[in-house]
Amino acid sequence: MELYSLNFVLFLAALAVTYFGVGRILGRGQWVVLLAGSLCFYCLMGGLPTLWLVIATAAVTWAAGLALARLDAECRDRRKAAPDRAAKKEIKARFARLRRVVLLAALACCLGALGYLKYWNVILWQAGAAPSPSSLGLVLPLGISFYTFQAVGYLLDCYNGRVEAERSLPRYLLFVSYFPQLIQGPINRWADLAPQLLGRNRADWDRARRALLLFLFGAMKKYAVANVLSGRIDAIFSSVDAGMPGSVVVLGILLYSAQQYADFSGGIDMVLAASELLGVRMAPNFKRPYFAVSLADFWRRWHVSLGAWMRDYVFYPFALTRPMKALGRWSGERLGRHLGRTLPACCANVLVFLIVGVWHGAEVHYVAWGLYNGLVIAAADLFSPAFARMRTTLGADSHPRLWRVWATLRTFLVVNLGWYFDRIYDFGNSLTCLRATFLNFAPQLMKPTLAELFGPKAAGPLGVSYIAIIGCVAIFAVSLVEERGHDVRELVLSRGLLVRTCAYVALLFLIASSYAFSIGGAGGFMYANF
């Protein structure tokens, strides 16, 4: 059952009717319906054999959270009864060690299972112990990275005293297994999501209309852009060799930048809409990333929940370690205040993006992609005073709009250079394509490639280019309006019946028309296997 299938629409409708119907009778107890629906959804999507891992991950982190709460309570009681300050200090140190043991044991279980299932196949394959990653028979459970990170985030919040441990395992299991977030995020926080899941929600017609419009817009992204472009991008990069012209590589990368954004953000729009229909608002995971003015700004807009997770649970804890503080003091004394302040952050950024790269996959090209992003952001921080002087010299402050356009185009170029390591599934081929881009561009060869991939012979008499172009223009227009601070859904729904009907019909037309031009079928979401 896929998000864009009729089965999902019927499932969501039946769940909503049951959820709100039971809510009128049980009140706050309606969360039980969400739990049952979420577990059924995972069985239908990922299969019953992998459901145990979701439950096990929830059980381990729930039990560890309770253990931390009990250790905290016992520590407070014993310190109150301690005769002097030295005894209190010794009790605090002993319980701190116990808390670390509980935390590390739970993290080892959750992250160990994630690492084994996600990377063991690839490690053995690259070591020559298996003919292919799939030959070992290990199947990656649906959405394992997302629900594992969410559960680990809850546990770390309990450890740091940000949230109180939940005493009910079924309630906590709903937080981990809530079905809209399972496929590809977003990675939610307990403090934000739990009150909505466990509270009482009522049916609301205006909310349903907003959800429907968002769902159709997300489906349009997936169908009319991502699916239409997917097979054509595969055709470009299916046989990379030294003679491949750089113009064709650039075409493939530009198409991939549109496909990946449409696929990922389209899926997120659909799950946000499904959740909004039920009265549960999850945080947006994309904030118009291609309008970013720097690579750091791009990553604050792209996969927002993963970036926030890495910031809170990796970046700050690492940057505030004793070695990093010592590095900051040493560099500040010898190299100046700026480097003393930025060097620890630069090291933390490189570590974060190395982890993000490995999170995408254990292959070398993903590691290179992560390091590329981390090193570019670190370099931008290190040389920020020089860049600020350059901006002043060029008079950017007197032409802010022109400078913003330039910064946006520059960032788009930097991001797309990174996609070479993300989309081209071999590090050597990534370097080959980069070399061709700069040394063998051959622009005259782009036109025949465009005709082959998008012309009438490839896509029928109407030509697939119209569908993809209209979809991209619609995405750009909506993003531009939202970037200026407007709520597009509110603008559409506040208009008359004719405008609303035209919006719905246009989206449905693009979705339906794209079926004829999708090479190789619809295909699942790119991030569903993470």
Distances 123 to 53, 136, 355 between C-alpha atoms, Å: 22, 11, 16
274 within 8 A of 471, measured Cβ to Cβ: no
Q: What is the pTM of this model?
A: 0.92
| Alpha carbon distance 424, 252 (integer Å) | 10
pLDDT given for residue 461 in this prediction: 40
First to last CA, the chain: 18
Burial 281-318 (b: 16+ CB within 10 A, else e): ebeebbbbbbbbbbbbbbbebbbbbbbbbbebbebeeb
| Alpha carbon distance 109, 93 (integer Å) | 25
| HEC assignment per residue over 48-65 | HHHHHHHHHHHHHHHHHH
Structure tokens at 333: 């004394």
| Alpha carbon distance 195, 145 (integer Å) | 23
| Alpha carbon distance 393, 385 (integer Å) | 12
Tens of pLDDT along 189-232? 999 999 999 999 999 999 999 999 999 999 999 988 998 888 88
pLDDT given for residue 415 in this prediction: 98
pLDDT given for residue 135 in this prediction: 52
| Alpha carbon distance 130, 133 (integer Å) | 7
Tens of pLDDT along 479-507? 999 999 999 999 999 988 888 888 888 88
| Alpha carbon distance 286, 272 (integer Å) | 11
pLDDT given for residue 523 in this prediction: 62
- Residues lower than pLDDT 70 in the chain: 1, 4, 125-138, 454-465, 515-523, 529-530
488 within 8 A of 481, measured Cβ to Cβ: yes
The neighbour count for residue 349, using CB atoms within 10 Å, is: 26
| Alpha carbon distance 137, 117 (integer Å) | 10
> Angle formed by the axes of helices 446-454 and 228-237, to 10°?
140
| Alpha carbon distance 443, 448 (integer Å) | 10
> DSSP per residue over 66-133, as a string?
HHHHHHHHHHHHHHHH-SSHHHHHHHHHHHHHHHHHHHHHHHHHHHHHHHHHHHHHHHHHHTTSSSSG
pLDDT given for residue 131 in this prediction: 57
pLDDT given for residue 212 in this prediction: 94
Q: Which letter does DSSP use for residue 312 in this model?
A: I
pLDDT given for residue 242 in this prediction: 76
Return the amino acid letter for 35: L
pLDDT given for residue 515 in this prediction: 67
pLDDT given for residue 462 in this prediction: 45
